[in-house]
């Protein structure tokens, strides 16, 4: 396997997009239906493969075809994974085919709204275990903030947060700008040649706005 940045870009193109007109590389009928820019995504995957510590447990919010979930794990080791997606994207029909080829152990597959009480309830037992999260679900300001808050409740201190579209979708850009001022987050890397893939370290200075940590800090005054 060629793990050079250009080798990864070539593999992205061969894996295929979900829409040639929009993503500027062809669809491969039996491919991954990626919703990524080849240069930007290759830069990101190369960074993860060469600079980031491997992950023991990931939470992926917004997987669509699951092609990105698979592609990343071919280069960046992730032992266990939870996926959470509402299952309404046109590309979601490819997930059942792609899932068996993903190099990880799937611990939980939640096909539901990430903002539902059920999703939070299903995730809470994994509190303190997640060290990597890729968030690419609801792209509204409120929706993305809710996903970040949800993840904050269950991740470990030091968790790597990856947010997609933080350079292109205005609501996601707003989130990006706010996180830069948030003591809970430190920007580790930013790949922003088209959509924006930002990589953050979760410092857990203030912690989540809801949940047991918050309740505990209130009790302590």
CB of 220 to ligand SAM, least distance (A): 33
Which residue among 137, 167, 196, 208 contacts ligand SAM (CB under 6 A)? 137
Q: Does 104 bind ligand SAM (CB under 6 A)?
A: no
Binding map of ligand SAM across residues 10-49, x = CB under 6 A, - = no contact: ------------------------xxx-------------
Q: Does 68 bind ligand SAM (CB under 6 A)?
A: yes
Query: Taking CB positions, which residue lies at the least distance from ligand SAM?
Result: 62
Residue 166 · residue 172 · CB < 8 Å = yes
The count of residues in the chain is 221
CA-CA distance, 163 to 190, in Å (whole number)?
10
Which residue among 55, 114, 166, 198 contacts ligand SAM (CB under 6 A)? 114
Where does this chain bind ligand SAM (CB under 6 A)?
34-36, 62-65, 67-68, 84-86, 88-89, 92, 113-115, 136-138, 143
């Amino acid at each position: 396997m060629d793990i050079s940045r250009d080798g990864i870009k070539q593999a992205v193109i061969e894996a295929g997009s979900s829409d040639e007109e929009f993503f500027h590389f062809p669809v491969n009928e039996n491919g991954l239906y990626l919703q990524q820019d080849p240069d930007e995504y290759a830069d990101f995957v190369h960074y993860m493969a060469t600079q980031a510590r491997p992950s023991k447990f990931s939470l992926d919010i917004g997987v669509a075809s699951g092609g990105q979930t698979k592609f990343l794990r071919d280069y960046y080791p992730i032992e266990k994974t939870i996926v959470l997606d509402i299952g309404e994207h046109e590309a979601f029909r490819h997930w059942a085919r792609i899932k068996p080829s993903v190099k990880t152990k799937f611990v939980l597959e939640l096909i539901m709204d990430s903002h539902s009480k059920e999703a939070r309830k299903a995730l809470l037992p994994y509190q303190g275990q997640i060290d990597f999260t890729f968030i690419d679900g609801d792209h509204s300001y409120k929706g993305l903030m809710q996903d970040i808050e949800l993840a904050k409740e269950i991740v470990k201190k030091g968790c790597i947060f990856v947010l997609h579209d933080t350079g292109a979708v205005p609501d996601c850009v707003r989130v990006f700008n706010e996180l830069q001022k948030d003591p809970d987050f430190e920007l580790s890397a930013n790949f922003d040649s088209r959509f924006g893939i930002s990589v953050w370290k979760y410092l857990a200075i203030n912690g989540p706005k809801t949940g047991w940590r918050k309740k505990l800090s209130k009790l302590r005054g």
